[in-house]
């Protein structure tokens, strides 16, 4: 077994089959571990029928992820949400990484570019925005050598969905682990994510931000993640990225409109 895919779920019967099904051609090399948080729909049955190992854990995603990677059989672990799908090329690249012999030069964790599914200008703008984040402190590592998770202890279970990704990244990078961005992407299925629903999710994520900020007060990553200068300007212009911003003024305007709404949502709910 080369890879363990840890998938967290809660009432994801609409998505779980697609997430697991992406690995159908690779089941000799990939173990599927679904960690469910008290679903009341058919999520667990669908996952079990598709051959996944199904576990129960709550109350939050961080605890689910920790149980998943600690149960994993493989030396490499990818952490996914149920509404994510890995294209075949991405899985092949991950298996290449997992098959390589360990060395001092080898990477031990990876960020994975995301492409959101859906139609319309808003989806294009969100994909445009997301493309600026790859490998930055706004991104979150998803593919790990299991030994790195063991070394760090995994996700902070006192943090709910949102900052637990950023918090783990800080500790992974502090170990000196080499990290990189995969060439290929994952697909995030957000076809049903309206603007109102997105802001509702951001409000929920804001609940743990104060605890995260208190834990890492003064850390350079936090200054960028919560500072207006970097979140609204720096990340979009650094390393020559400003050229893309200038080439797509309409997408930039839609992106900034949503960014401002998210900022207000955070301020109102922190």
| pLDDT tens digits along 39-49 | 999 999 999 99
**Which residues lie closer than 8 Å to 151 by C-beta, 6 or more apart?**
175
- CATH number of the domain that residue 69 is part of: 3.90.550.10
Residue 104's pLDDT is what? 77
| Region of residue 176 (left: phi > 0; alpha: psi -120 to 50; beta: else) | left
Return the closest-CA partner of residue 62 out of 162, 136, 177: 162
What pLDDT sits at residue 228?
Answer: 92
Give the residue-averaged pLDDT of 87-98: 98
Look at residue 210 and tell me if it is in a domain.
Answer: no
| pTM (two decimals) | 0.93
Average pLDDT, the chain: 93
Number of domains in the chain: 1
Residue 263 located in a structural domain: no
CA-nearest of 137, 136, 30, 39 to 80 is 30
- 203 pLDDT tier (thresholds 50, 70, 90): low
Residue 6 DSSP SS3? strand
Determine the Cα–Cα distance for residues 94 and 106; give it in Å rounded to an integer. 13
pLDDT computed for residue 251 by the predictor: 97
Q: Please check whether residue 16 lies inside any domain of the structure.
A: yes
Rounded to whole angstroms, the Cα distance separating 61 from 243 reads: 37
Within-domain flag for 188:
yes
- 131: helix, coil or strand? helix
User: Which pLDDT value is given to residue 20?
Assistant: 98
Which range of residues forms the domain containing residue 166? 3-193
Q: For the segment 220-257, what is each residue's pLDDT rounded down to a tens digit?
A: 999 999 999 999 999 999 999 999 999 999 999 999 99
Would residue 270 count as lying in a domain? Answer: no
Inside any domain, residue 252: no
For 4-29, what is the mean pLDDT?
A: 97
Radius of gyration of the chain (CA): 18
Q: What is the pLDDT of residue 194?
A: 67
């Amino acid at each position: 077994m080369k890879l363990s895919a840890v998938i967290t779920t809660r009432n994801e019967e609409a998505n779980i089959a697609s997430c697991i099904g992406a690995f159908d051609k690779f089941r000799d090399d990939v173990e599927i571990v679904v960690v469910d948080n008290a679903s009341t729909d058919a999520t667990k049955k669908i996952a079990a029928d598709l051959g996944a190992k199904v576990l129960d854990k709550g109350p939050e995603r961080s605890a689910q992820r920790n149980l998943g990677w600690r149960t994993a059989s493989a030396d490499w672990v990818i952490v996914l949400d149920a509404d994510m799908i890995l294209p075949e090329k991405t899985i092949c690249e991950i298996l290449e990484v997992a098959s390589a012999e360990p060395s001092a030069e080898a990477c031990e964790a990876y960020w994975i570019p995301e492409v959101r599914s859906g139609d319309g200008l808003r989806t294009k703008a969100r994909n445009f925005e997301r493309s600026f984040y790859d490998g930055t402190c706004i991104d979150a590592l998803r593919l790990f050598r299991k030994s790195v998770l063991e070394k760090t202890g995994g996700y902070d279970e006192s943090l709910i969905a949102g900052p637990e990704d950023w918090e783990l990244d800080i500790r992974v990078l502090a170990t000196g682990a080499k990290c990189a961005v995969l060439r290929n992407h994952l697909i995030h299925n957000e076809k049903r994510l309206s603007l109102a629903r997105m802001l509702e999710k951001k409000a929920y994520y804001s609940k743990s931000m104060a605890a995260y900020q208190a834990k890492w007060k003064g850390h350079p990553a936090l200054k960028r993640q919560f500072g207006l200068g970097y979140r609204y300007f720096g990340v979009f212009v650094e390393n020559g990225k400003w050229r893309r911003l200038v080439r797509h003024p309409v997408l930039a305007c839609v992106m900034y409109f949503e960014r401002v709404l998210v900022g207000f949502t955070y301020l109102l709910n922190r």
